[in-house]
Every structure is written in C-alpha cells, then in structure tokens.
C-alpha cells in the first residue's frame, strides 16, 4: 500500500494529473468557452456512437473527385471549399435525435455522465478537418471527438473509443467492425424525405441476425418454414443467442431507465421497435421470452408474418432501421426510411429467400 501511495505522490510531484483532475480541468475550460457547448461525457459512462463523415454529411460530389481525380485533388477541393458547410447525410437526423436525448438527460441529471457521445470516425486526411469542423459548427452539432486516420482503416480505433455503434457507408469496414465484436451497420440514404420526430429518438430493429443470432434463420433457409415453426415451438423457453446489435439495444435501454426513474416513461425521448418477418403465434413467443431473459424491454413489437416492412416503417418514421436482409433495406429506403444494413449471418447468402449463386472464377 505504501508503494502505491509513493507512486501517486511521485506522479503529483512530476506534475502528472489523475483522470479525475484532467476531466475537472477540461470542464473548467469548456465552461469558459463563449459557445458554452456541453462537456462531452466520460467515455466509460457514455453510449458512444461512431459515425463516418460520409454518413454524417452528403459527400457524394467529393467522393467522386476522390475516385476519379485522386487524393491530392480531393484534398485541394475540400480546402478550397472549407467555408462551405457540407449538406446533411443519412445519419444526420439520427445524430440530431441523439443530441435531443442528451438535452433531456442533462435537464434531469445536470451532472450525469450517462449520455450519448458522438465520435466522427473517418479515414479522411487531417487536412480536410477544417471543413468537417466548420460543417459541424454550422449545424450546431456537439461532436468533440474526431478520429481522422489519413487513408488507414479506422476500425482499429473503435475499441479504444469504447464504441457502442459504428455507422459507415463502407460495407467492408462495417463487416470488419462486426468481426471485431462491435455493433455496426452500413447506412443507406432514403430515396425520398419524410418528416421525423424532433422530440423522440426512434430506433427500429429486425430480430434474427440483428438483435438475435441467425440460428433460427439457418433453419428457415435450410429446412423451410414448417421445420422452423416446429423448432421455435420446441425451444420456446430457450433464449436465442445474441446478435450483433443486442448490445446497442441494451445501451438504449440503460438510458431509457434513466427517464423511467424520474417518472418520465410516458414522455421518454427514446422509443424502440422490433420489426420482424416472424409470425407472432407461430414463432413470436421465443423472441419475446429471449428479450425478457436478457432483462431488456422493447417498446413495440411488430410481427409481420412475411409481409413487406417498408409500409409499416413508413408509419413509424424511425431515425434508423437495422436489418440484415438487403431487400428489406431497399424496400424501406424506397418509402423514405433511413435504413442500415447489418452484414451478418446466413441471410447474406440469400436474396428474397433464394440462394445467391456465385459466378465461378475463371
């Protein structure tokens, strides 16, 4: 014990600050800023959402320059236009909704650290950081943490940033993140705009291969619906294994309970939805019992029995909808839903129930 105290004393003597002292100093610095932006939460308490620059902002034009003219012309263009704010991208409404939840949490818990923390995670070179910062400030977004990797993959930094969810336009990076055990999805821009809630964050999840593992979906694909129904009835009381987005639902639930503790359940600014192709009577009980066994709640459970998800999602108006099947993603975005593809499980080998035949290599 005396040795530990000696080390602490030496640390102070050398001018080294403890983590608490560093955060206290940072808080003072933020409070002295004219902008009075709120101090980001400590990472170990926060729900950290990492978004790529191409999901946060519409960078289609800039991306085209990069692909057709190379990185030097791309950087030069960004610097020449750094005072022009980028237009909002697919994840922009989601990020704004996260900030609204933070505002409500700070009203209830002024000193609370359990908040959303948004990190800009991009492989852009640091030279274009000024345009990204200017765009973030233009829209009054609270994004203080950046990771700009200059062409290298940012995936290796996700765990260091304690990421709970990673959103990108790059499906390969998303796949890499999922393989690292991090909740991730590829964002798609809807084909038309719909009005989203300004006061409530709405998040919709598919079930199998998103919240849950793909174990039941494997049976559907390989043995058909009748065998699947028999299997789900037989194992109704056996919880499904967790899927790649279970941890994000868990994080949302943690923040929801902060509102419930203040008698704000009916006015909670977070609402979650399960939107599944499962049938309720034939295979719904197992998923509900699985959520219960995890100690998780879902606000609305919608069993569609194979019906298209797009029209129903159009009524929900989620800020983001997660699904592992691309045809559900496409159906959603056609009707204006912001959709995010989770490239996980056996469903990646199928399209509309049919096995995707790979062209043999010559």
* Residues acting as catalytic residues: 206
Pairing relation of β-strands 320-323 and 47-51? unpaired
Residue located via tokens 């274009």: 128
Residue located via tokens 């998303």: 174
**Helices marked H in the chain — which ranges?**
2-13, 19-31, 53-56, 60-69, 71-80, 92-108, 129-138, 155-158, 171-179, 215-223, 225-234, 246-260, 280-293, 310-316, 326-334
Tell me which residue of 338, 297, 334 sits closest to 316, measured CA to CA: 338
The dihedral through the CA atoms of 160, 161, 165, 168 has a sign that is negative
Tell me the sheet residues that pair with 301: 274
Q: Which two tokens stand for residue 95?
A: 């990020």
Query: Could you report how far apart the first and last alpha carbons of the chain are, in Å?
Result: 68
Q: What is the DSSP letter of 309?
A: S
Pairing relation of β-strands 201-205 and 270-276? parallel
Q: What is the DSSP letter of 33?
A: S
CA distance readout (Å), 131 to 40, 62, 125, 332, 355 = 21, 12, 12, 32, 44
């Amino acid at each position: 014990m005396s040795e530990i105290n000696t080390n602490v004393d030496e640390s102070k003597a050398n001018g080294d600050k403890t983590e608490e002292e560093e955060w206290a100093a940072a808080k003072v610095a933020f409070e002295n800023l004219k902008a009075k932006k709120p101090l980001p939460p400590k990472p170990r308490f926060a729900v950290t959402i990492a978004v790529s620059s191409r999901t946060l902002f519409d960078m289609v034009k800039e991306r085209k320059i990069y692909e057709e003219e190379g990185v030097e012309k791309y950087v030069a263009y960004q610097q020449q236009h750094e005072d022009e704010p980028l237009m909002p991208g697919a994840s922009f409404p989601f990020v704004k909704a996260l900030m609204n939840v933070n505002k409500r949490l700070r009203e209830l818990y002024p000193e609370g650290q359990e908040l959303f923390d948004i990190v800009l995670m991009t492989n852009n070179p640091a030279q274009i950081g000024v345009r990204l910062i200017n765009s973030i400030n233009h829209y009054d977004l609270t994004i203080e943490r950046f990771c700009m990797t200059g062409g290298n993959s940012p995936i290796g930094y996700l765990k260091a940033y304690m990421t709970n969810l990673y959103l990108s336009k790059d499906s390969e990076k998303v796949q890499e993140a999922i393989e690292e055990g991090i909740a991730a999805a590829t964002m798609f821009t809807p084909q038309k705009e719909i009005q989203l809630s300004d006061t409530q964050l709405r998040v919709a999840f598919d079930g199998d291969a998103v919240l849950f593992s793909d174990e039941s979906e494997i049976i559907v694909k390989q043995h058909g619906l009748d065998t699947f129904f028999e299997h789900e009835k037989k194992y109704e009381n056996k919880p499904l294994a967790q899927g790649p987005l279970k941890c994000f639902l868990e994080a949302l639930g943690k923040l929801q309970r902060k509102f419930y503790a203040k008698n704000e359940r009916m006015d909670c600014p977070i609402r979650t939805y399960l939107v599944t192709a499962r049938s309720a009577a034939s295979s719904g009980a197992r998923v509900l019992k699985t959520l219960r066994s995890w100690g998780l709640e879902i606000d609305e459970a919608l069993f569609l029995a194979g019906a298209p998800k797009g029209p129903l999602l159009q009524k929900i108006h989620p800020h983001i909808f997660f699904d592992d099947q691309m045809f559900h993603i496409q159906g959603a975005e056609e009707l204006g839903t912001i959709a995010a593809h989770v490239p996980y499980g056996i469903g990646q080998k199928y399209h509309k129930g049919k096995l995707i035949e790979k062209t043999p290599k010559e």
